[in-house]
Structure 1
């Protein structure tokens, strides 16, 4: 049974209300009150509906997590989506309500946070989310300078549709920008960088180098290794089995146990071919990350050939610290089938399900579904 896609939704109900009235934005309660007094229409729900309309055929495959009232619940329920409220905002919503909703959606482990607003809304979400979960913005504000927005509301719907259907969708880092509204009203456009978030984008699934040849595959593995090594810090890294992980070890100049599990810290080998007990003792009460790949053709990431990665070890590491690596050709060979987890702990398998980022090259990732065999 395919797991339900968990879509987080945040609507800034006041986004863009000052645009048509030449108020140059909607930041601040005074501006919002002025816009509403002048007859401004709240367009963000309408633009969100344009995105969600494309998802109506998939209602049985998804669930929307959102805030009560105009921040998402009203529209989602009106359109017939299975909806769960995770935050109760006051009648007059402010930026802190956007931030608190984002925190709750992170706790709910949503697969994607879809939000409607402008650059101010993107700033609020970035302050909480950073790069912890993928986000996608529906353009609904006066200022849309950030790179986290789709080109149109329907384009956002198309990207979410691909994710719900389990298609490969790439991940990239996008900048969050905003401008000073006071200066904007005086004709001064001065944008500032406020951070980055991970954004899904439609992916024309074409291998960047020719598939099939040994040389091209080695180049891809080198790129994957370069990305992983660049991100390494002083934590303990549990290096799983398989040729893709072996390429990372080789790039660090370290001996590798191809069919076992090794421990690395500061790009130095701590231990080779460790047991599940040794692993747990090594990372107990410490921060650790786990680098794993999938079994080619099968798609298993846990439970096949890496039993050293016991449920206790995986829980100690935490899902957020699992680094999945694979070439796109390896993913493509699955023909759309999901990655599989069979740890022997049903509850853990359920927790691991959902979309997970897979490093497929240097600064190149895709989102791919993980399921548990029924």
Structure 2
């Protein structure tokens, strides 16, 4: 799709304004199991056993709710939302109060749904002439949408998976709603975003070699997340960070270590080997590796002095909600100003305008600005994008 077409489409949409808003046709596809593996410490939800365990432990299918949160910002839509029966979209549209605008495609998805259901549904919506396809899931769902539609229609991802590294996703569900609203009003141009994926087994072992699978057309907005990238190792800055925080580390009985190579370096200096993809907890000098949210709860139960050490995801602005869901029980318990250490090398944080948290149910006591330690006695103050802001 060339730049001339994008320029023409944008100006035509702006010319017809609210009429375009009224006549919009949105496609919605929800991957209802997306993200279920996160609290369990899994690196994805591809394994059916992961889904069974998550549901057995009472975890919510948060993708359904997150889709509804995005749609909640387009409640005055007077067009049509084409979606799939049941958990793949119908329930979310009803939760958002948009049942009167819903049209179900003539398709009965499997239970549980599969990638084949996603691909077929997307192609059926293309046939129905949708203007934009909204999908809810993670990188695996984005891969399926890419296979189904490629560049044939503009897409927008609502983040809900464990791995959400592709640059076709909004930063949060609410951001997806804002982007969708502005795009349908003709206020946003188009661009392309990358679809990337990391095999679960490789990610589980701490490797990070994202494969670019292709690109898709997306609305052009600052509320779309960037792709994850590797930041070059800066040994001097890492050493400085450790020297600066070492006294504080020694004053806590429980230390929660988030994912990332920056935190793994600190763990190594403390005398522990840590996989960069996992959340580990050190309790009274004993290391617990690859902790899930349930074990996290039990390890911090009754403890008054809990320290959380985290780093933003490289190439993005995310502090929580991307591959570190296991941290949330600890984060809910601690004082942000006293018990949370955010560390990052200068190169990693250089172009970050704000840090982003994307979690369900919100967080209490989160400050508007955060202190990021970048070296020995070196800090940077960064604005925090508050959950559900």
Counterpart residue number, 1:127: 147
Per-residue CA distance 1:252-291 (angstroms, 9 max, x = gap): xxxxxxxxxxxxxxxxxxxxxxxxxxxxxxxxxxxxxxxx
1:146 aligns with 2:166: yes
2:82 is the alignment partner of 1:62: no
**Which residue is equivalent to 1:283?**
none
1:63 Cα offset (Å): 1.3
Aligned to 2:200: 181
CA-based RMSD of the aligned residues comes to 1.8
Tell me how far 1:106 sits from its aligned partner: 0.6
- In the alignment, which residue of structure 1 is the partner of 2:180? 160
Corresponding position of 2:336? none
Contact 1:18 1:40 in 2 (8 A): no
Matches within 5 A, 1:266-281: none
Separation in structure 2 between the aligned mates of residue 153 and residue 121 of structure 1, nearest angstrom: 16
Q: How many residues align?
A: 201
Equivalent of residue 85 in structure 1, options 104, 125, 134: 104
The question of whether the paired residues in 1 share the 8 Å contact of 2:183 and 2:189 is answered with no
1:202-232 superposed Cα distances (whole Å, 9 cap, x missing partner): 389xxxxxxxxxxxxxxxxxxxxxxxxxxxx
Q: Does residue 13 of structure 1 match 2:32?
A: yes
Q: 1:183 to 1:38 in 2, by over 3 A?
A: farther
Distance 2:219 2:179 in 1: 7
Rounded Cα–Cα distance in structure 2 between residues aligned with 1:29 and 1:100 = 21
Please state how far the C-alpha of 1:31 moved relative to its aligned partner: 2.1
TM-score normalised per structure 2: 0.50
Q: How do residues 1-374 of structure 1 correspond to structure 2 at under 5 angstroms?
A: 2=19, 3-56=22-75, 58-59=76-77, 61-81=78-98, 82-86=101-105, 87-164=107-184, 166-202=185-221
Tell me whether 116-125 or 30-39 shows the greater mean CA deviation. Answer: 30-39
Residues 67-98 of structure 1 deviation map (CA, whole Å, 9 limit, x = unaligned)? 10000012213433211111320221011111
The answer to whether the Cα contact below 8 Å between 2:69 and 2:96 also exists between their aligned partners in 1 is no
CA contact (8 A) 1:168 1:203 kept: no
Greater radius of gyration (CA): 1
Q: Distance in 2 between matches of 1:187 and 1:167?
A: 42
Task: Return the alpha-carbon distance in structure 2 between the equivalents of residues 101 and 52 of structure 1.
Answer: 19
Q: Which sections of structure 1, spanning at least 5 residues, go unmatched?
A: 205-374
What is the TM-score of this pair, normalised by structure 1? 0.52
Could you list the structure 1 runs, at least 4 aligned residues long, displaced by more than 4 angstroms after superposition.
none
CA distance in 2 between counterparts of 1:202 and 1:192 reads 24
Query: In structure 2, how many angstroms separate the alpha carbons of the residues matched to 1:123 and 1:95?
Result: 9
1:108: how far off?
A: 0.9
Contact 1:11/1:116 (<8 A) preserved = yes
Deviation string, structure 1 residues 129-149 (Cα, Å, up to 9, x no partner): 101000000110010110100
Preserved contact between residue 31 and residue 88 of structure 2 (Cα < 8 Å): yes
SS of match in other structure, 1:202:
coil
